[in-house]
Amino acid sequence: LLVGCYVSKIYQTDETLIVKLVCSDGARRRLVLSPKHGFWVTRYDIPKPPAPPFFCSELRRKLTRLKLLDLRQEDLDRILYIGFGQEKIRYWLVLEVVREGNIILLNADGEIMLALRYRKMRDRDVIKGLKYRPPPAIGIDVVSKETKEIINVLKQNSGKIAPLIIRGLGMPKEAVLDAIARSGLKQDADIGAVDQEKFTV
């Protein structure tokens, strides 16, 4: 839907970016990037501030009129990579929906050029000029592992089933509690007592 579209304008409201795109089919689409909530496409016009903040102004300067060439999410982790350029990628815009969230602009070599939030952290630094390192992966890589492997990794722990699945798979609490309820289990059931069949329902 978005690959091949051109950036016509970028707006920022609070910490949320709205990237307006013009596509070859004539459609105008809005990609919303929110460090708190994720990303989505909307047809609704979102109210914008009268003047863009510095972060937004710099993104406009770099990305306006470039083509969106790639858009991917690594291993279902809460990080979105968007590649912009003409024939080849010149910039990566990274949306992190972890912790307090962040939006980071990288050059083609993966070096940080601009960030909504610059931070020094225990496991990595988000500082201009440094090579970008994503946050540590959350939970088990459910894309490459079989269901049986995932269950075995989860059952190596002890404790209540709900928090272990939420942490272990990096899944939203509401989705996990709903799945547990549908399977007929209780969320405070001990994970060691849950048989394989219940896990795969």
Task: Tell me the per-residue pLDDT of 58-99, one tens digit each, with 9 for 90 and over.
Answer: 999 999 999 999 999 876 678 999 999 999 999 999 999 987
Half-sphere exposure of 191 (CA within 13 A, CB side): 18
CA distance 29 to 22: 7
| Of 18-22, 55-59, 131-135, minimum mean pLDDT range | 131-135
CA distance 126 to 2: 28
143-167 pLDDT, tens digit each: 667 777 777 777 777 788 888 887 7
pTM exceeds 0.85, yes or no: no
As given in the structure block, the two tokens for residue 77 are 């982790």
**Is residue 43 a contact partner of residue 57, using CB atoms and an 8 Å limit?**
no
Angle CA 97–123–115, to nearest 5: 50
